[in-house]
Amino acid sequence: MTAADFGVNPTTATSPEQYVILLRRIRDQSGLAYREIARRAQRNGDVLPASTLATMLGRPTLPRRDLVSALLRACGVPDERAAEWLTVWGRLAAARTAARPPAAAPSGRPGHVPVAPAARTTGPSGPVAGPGAEGLGPTSHPQRSAALRLIPAGGGTGTAGPARGRAAASGAGRDRAVLRGLPSPVADEARPADGGSGAPVPYQLPPAPPLMVGRSAEIDRLLAATETDAAVCLVEGAGGVGKSALALHVAHRIVGRYDGGCLYADLRGATDGIAAAEPADVLGRFLRALGAPALPASLDEASALLRTWTAERGVLVVLDNAASAAQVRPLLASGPGCTTLITSRWMLPDLDTTARIRLDPLPDDAAHALLAGLTGAQRVQAEPAAAATVVRRCGGLPLALRIVGARAAARPDAPLTGLAERMDDEGMRLDVLEVGDLSVRASLHLGYQAFGDARQGERRQAARLFRLAALPDWTHVTSYGCAALADLPVAATERALDALVDAHLIESAGGDRYRFHDVVRLYARERARATDDPSHREEALGRLTAWLLAATIRAARLLYPDDRFGIGEPAGPARPGPPLGDAADAWAWFEREHTNLLLVARQQTAAGRTLTEVRDLALVAAKFLDYAGHIAEQQQFGHLAFAAASRSDDRSGAASGLNIAAVALLRQGRLDEAIPILKRCLAVQRELGDRSREAAILNNLGNALRDSGDLAGALHHLQAALVIRRQLGHRHKEGSVLDNLALVYQRLGDYSQAIACHEAGRAVADGGTDPLREAQALVNFAETLRASGDHRAAIGRAAESLEICRRYEHQRGIGLALQVLGDAHAGLGHLSVARRHWREALDRLDGLDPQACARLRTALAPATPPAAPR
């Protein structure tokens, strides 16, 4: 099928712009890429380079006749139809010629005035040729741009009559200061007559990316930013995240706006083994592309000349892969009709821009769509699990997905499962993410080598921190933790982290927290194995574990000042920790760091290192995890403490670890599993004579028996725990046992005894030193009052508990207090108020207390009669 079959009628064109639009339609409907059209033109004996074609179809001016003819033949337009196109071209060309002003008149473009040929003048270093001098440009063009012409050294010759006055009005004084002695471009060189010969308009853009997925918001932002006069737009992000692809995609969409064409340079700011491009070299290439007859010797003069040559033309400049702001500044086009797009893996905070766009990894849905586009939608649909694994392991990096897509395309019959399995292996993943000259490892190395190969001490320090910070299995990196890890002062650590963030090797997560991209972490660990001795890596992890334990103990002391957790004080030098002023700060710290504590403890236990610290970390963190409702982590910490203590032949510590795990089972309602474990732990502690830990297990076993319905057994064990704690003088722990006894009496229906135990427990509490324990006791007291029928008193106690928990943002405590408030209001018949409290309680407790959530869902079910959820 030829273009003629689509009914494109050239006779409808009444202007060059409409004519070009119709030519673009011919090209679009042919389905041929620019390069294919160029190849076909060459076979036809025509000259139509792809870059020339792109420029021709991107400008609103009438193309040369030979280019139109070559395009039509390459697209398969029959000769008789091509003749119609050329007839229309002749009509438009004739109309353009008739409208052109006489040669001696102004060109009609803003800022152009007639200028007499300048005389040969004397510059700072001797004679300087004017634009009519031999070898520097033709003398047959009387028109000169007022902004571009030479100003004679004396300032009073070379212009005459009205032209001189208009030049002064357009800023000749500035030109004299900047351009004296520099060669002047000729108007017709800068903008060759349409259809004639002359210096070609530069079109240096590399091809646009074939697929652009998941970047709609960023594309829209960048397109909007380019509408600003003299726009300077920076696209920054990590290596492999798709910065160049985005910039080129947008550049190809907007290049038609710029009559002066497009300049492109890879500044090699992150190119392995190749020095970054020198601005002077890039300026030289740009000026030659624009047709400048000679180049100034100094960088400043060349930069000024670039701005002069681009000012009136309207030029798009794309500076890819910038190394620094200093490299970029001389290359900026500042004319109102110009736009500069810059990409860099550095933030370049010292570069003045009109827009900054940070590019993050693709979200999963966009990454999945990109993988489907690269490998074929049918393959992705046929193996959804394998495709999901590949997407997850690529971490949203378009470069990684491109590499995987290339690998899959090279073996179209191979299942994706094998590729997914290799990517699941951390030891193989970076090897899989290499194909041809595409390599995620190489891309990351470019950013790292700016630090690892640097001579400056601070940058090499940042490289070492980058390697060491990737060793722990933590989800977030902190400056205090990194300072302990690398044995550095906190201030130096913060500077190193800031430098790594600026290079997009790590990401800021807000506050004092940072994170690694998964693929970047693998690369950093690889560098650590290649660079740092194993003993140094182990020592770093040991320092971090010791610091985490010390910080955890400090936070726990603020929350539970009377509890010693049965461990000694941390050994080793004290290191700075996060600023924790009160219990609220400590609770917030635990909420931020509890996952990191677990992951580092698991990593060290698996390696058989710092086992005593792991055991103690579990014993201290367990109370917070229990209060907060992080049941799964509580159970895992218990097993880690058991494993660490067992490997150290610490039977008491192993039993304490199992006690932690058993309490987590109680919170899940798994009483049949928890009770036998607690009984075994009790036997061990009695055998070892550890009375404090025996009391703790008796307390937990009493609660478990109460919940199982064995109220007599519960009373027996709780009363035994109370006796031991009184004998040991652990007055602060008597309150919790009395509170638990009260709940047993409540179940027995002995409300007077239950209330007496609650009151006694509150009386022995040491003046609110453990506010979260007080909040738990208050909500238990409220539940007893509600069960006894005193709903208003129950509301009062529950409200006190709620106030404390809200102060600390204790989500589980807030949820339990709201639940009892709802129960009490339901008892008073305030059903709408009760349901409001229950709904908020369910929101707070979801994922933190499965048993409470089950009761709340039952209470909120539509068919439930108006009664409390008990």
Q: What integer pLDDT is reported at residue 777 of this predicted model?
A: 93
Q: What integer pLDDT is reported at residue 567 of this predicted model?
A: 80
Alpha-helical regions (H) of 425-456: 426-432, 440-452
Q: Is the confidence at residue 170, as pLDDT, over 60?
A: no
> Which residues lie across from 316 on neighbouring strands?
262, 339
Q: Would you state the structure tokens that stand for residue 281, as one six-digit string?
A: 């070299």
Place 679 in a pLDDT band, splitting at 50, 70 and 90.
very high
With a CB cutoff of 8 Å and minimum separation 6, the contacts of 273 are: none
* Cβ neighbourhood burial of 156 (10 Å; 0-12, 13-18, 19+): exposed
* Cβ neighbourhood burial of 227 (10 Å; 0-12, 13-18, 19+): exposed
Percent of the chain residues topping a pLDDT of 90: 56
Q: What integer pLDDT is reported at residue 64 of this predicted model?
A: 86
Each residue's pLDDT tens digit, 53-80:
877 887 778 888 888 999 999 988 998 8
CA-to-CA distance for 197 and 532, rounded, in angstroms? 63
Q: What integer pLDDT is reported at residue 326 of this predicted model?
A: 93
Which of 197-206, 594-603, 617-626 comes out lowest in average pLDDT? 197-206
Q: What are phi and psi of 47, to 5 degrees?
A: -115, 110
Q: What integer pLDDT is reported at residue 638 of this predicted model?
A: 96
Q: Is the confidence at residue 173, as pLDDT, over 80?
A: no
Q: Higher model confidence: residue 297 or residue 244?
A: 244
Give the mean model confidence (pLDDT) for residues 380-406.
Answer: 91
What is the length of the chain?
870
CA-to-CA distance for 259 and 191, rounded, in angstroms? 8
Task: Bin 476: left if φ > 0, else alpha if -120 < ψ < 50, else beta.
Answer: beta
Place 398 in a pLDDT band, splitting at 50, 70 and 90.
very high
CA-to-CA distance for 657 and 659, rounded, in angstroms? 5
Q: What integer pLDDT is reported at residue 279 of this predicted model?
A: 93
Nearest residue to 547 (alpha-carbon basis) of 470, 652, 643, 472: 472
**Contact 66/56 with Cβ under 8 angstroms?**
no
**Contact 321/244 with Cβ under 8 angstroms?**
yes
Q: What integer pLDDT is reported at residue 688 of this predicted model?
A: 94
Cβ atoms < 10 Å from Cβ of 182: 22
Which of 108-112, 274-278, 338-342 comes out lowest in average pLDDT? 108-112
Q: What integer pLDDT is reported at residue 766 of this predicted model?
A: 57
CA-to-CA distance for 386 and 869, rounded, in angstroms? 45
Question: Angle at the Cα of 231 (from 225 to 232), degrees rounded to 5?
Answer: 100
Q: Higher model confidence: residue 637 or residue 211?
A: 637
Each residue's pLDDT tens digit, 310-329:
987 889 999 999 999 999 99
With a CB cutoff of 8 Å and minimum separation 6, the contacts of 509 are: 476, 515
Place 165 in a pLDDT band, splitting at 50, 70 and 90.
very low
Helix%, strand%, coil% for the chain, nearest 5: 60, 5, 30
Each residue's pLDDT tens digit, 714-740:
999 999 999 999 999 888 789 899 999
Q: Would you state the structure tokens that stand for residue 295, as one six-digit string?
A: 């180049």
Give the mean model confidence (pLDDT) for residues 342-371.
Answer: 93
H or E element, residue 71: helix 65-74
Q: Higher model confidence: residue 471 or residue 566?
A: 471
Alpha-helical regions (H) of 609-670: 611-628, 631-647, 651-667
Q: Higher model confidence: residue 777 or residue 438?
A: 777
Q: What integer pLDDT is reported at residue 455 of this predicted model?
A: 65
Q: Is the confidence at residue 169, as pLDDT, over 70?
A: no
Each residue's pLDDT tens digit, 705-721:
999 999 999 999 999 99
Q: Is the confidence at residue 842, as pLDDT, over 50?
A: yes
Q: What integer pLDDT is reported at residue 770 of this predicted model?
A: 81
Q: What integer pLDDT is reported at residue 561 of this predicted model?
A: 85
Strands 112-114 and 477-478: unpaired
Q: Is the confidence at residue 673, as pLDDT, over 80?
A: yes
Nearest residue to 606 (alpha-carbon basis) of 644, 634, 642, 636: 644
Q: What integer pLDDT is reported at residue 198 of this predicted model?
A: 52
**Contact 785/755 with Cβ under 8 angstroms?**
yes
Residue whose entry in the numeric block shows the structure tokens 């008796």: 698
Give the mean model confidence (pLDDT) for residues 649-655.
Answer: 93
Rounded alpha-carbon distances, angstroms, from residue 571 to 486, 553, 559, 611: 18, 12, 21, 14
Strands 231-237 and 355-359: parallel
CA-to-CA distance for 307 and 311, rounded, in angstroms? 6
Give the mean model confidence (pLDDT) for residues 4-20.
Answer: 78
Q: Is the confidence at residue 522, as pLDDT, over 80?
A: yes
Give the mean model confidence (pLDDT) for residues 174-202.
Answer: 41
Q: Is the confidence at residue 669, as pLDDT, over 50?
A: yes
CA-to-CA distance for 393 and 472, rounded, in angstroms? 19
Each residue's pLDDT tens digit, 683-702:
999 999 999 999 999 999 99
Q: What integer pLDDT is reported at residue 533 of this predicted model?
A: 95
Percent of the chain residues topping a pLDDT of 70: 84
Each residue's pLDDT tens digit, 464-481:
999 999 999 999 999 999
Q: What integer pLDDT is reported at residue 98 of this predicted model?
A: 65
In three-state form (DSSP H/G/I as H, E/B as E, the rest C), the secondary structure along 78-134 is: CHHHHHHHHHHHHHHHHHHHHHCCCCCCCCCCCCEEECCCCCCEEECCEEECCCCCC
Strands 143-145 and 316-320: unpaired
Each residue's pLDDT tens digit, 419-467:
899 998 988 999 989 888 888 988 888 888 888 766 677 888 999 999 9
CA-to-CA distance for 413 and 578, rounded, in angstroms? 55
Task: Bin 206: left if φ > 0, else alpha if -120 < ψ < 50, else beta.
Answer: beta
What does pLDDT average to over the chain?
Answer: 83
Each residue's pLDDT tens digit, 807-817:
988 999 999 99
pTM of the model: 0.69
Q: Is the confidence at residue 361, as pLDDT, over 60?
A: yes
Give the mean model confidence (pLDDT) for residues 516-539.
Answer: 94
Helix (H, G, I), strand (E, B) or coil at 592: helix
Count CA within 13 A, CB hemisphere, residue 113.
21
CA-to-CA distance for 55 and 264, rounded, in angstroms? 14
Give the mean model confidence (pLDDT) for residues 619-636.
Answer: 93
Q: Would you state the structure tokens that stand for residue 298, as one six-digit string?
A: 């100094």
Give the mean model confidence (pLDDT) for residues 596-606.
Answer: 96
Q: Higher model confidence: residue 560 or residue 184?
A: 560
CA-to-CA distance for 600 and 593, rounded, in angstroms? 11
CA-to-CA distance for 288 and 295, rounded, in angstroms? 8
Cβ atoms < 10 Å from Cβ of 385: 10
**Contact 747/708 with Cβ under 8 angstroms?**
no
With a CB cutoff of 8 Å and minimum separation 6, the contacts of 750 are: none
Each residue's pLDDT tens digit, 229-272:
899 999 999 989 999 999 999 999 999 889 899 999 999 886 65
Place 110 in a pLDDT band, splitting at 50, 70 and 90.
very low
Q: Would you state the structure tokens that stand for residue 483, as one six-digit string?
A: 């300072």
Q: Higher model confidence: residue 35 or residue 535?
A: 535
CA-to-CA distance for 309 and 300, rounded, in angstroms? 14
> Which residues lie across from 231 on neighbouring strands?
339
Nearest residue to 263 (alpha-carbon basis) of 282, 244, 247, 236: 282
Q: What integer pLDDT is reported at residue 677 of this predicted model?
A: 96
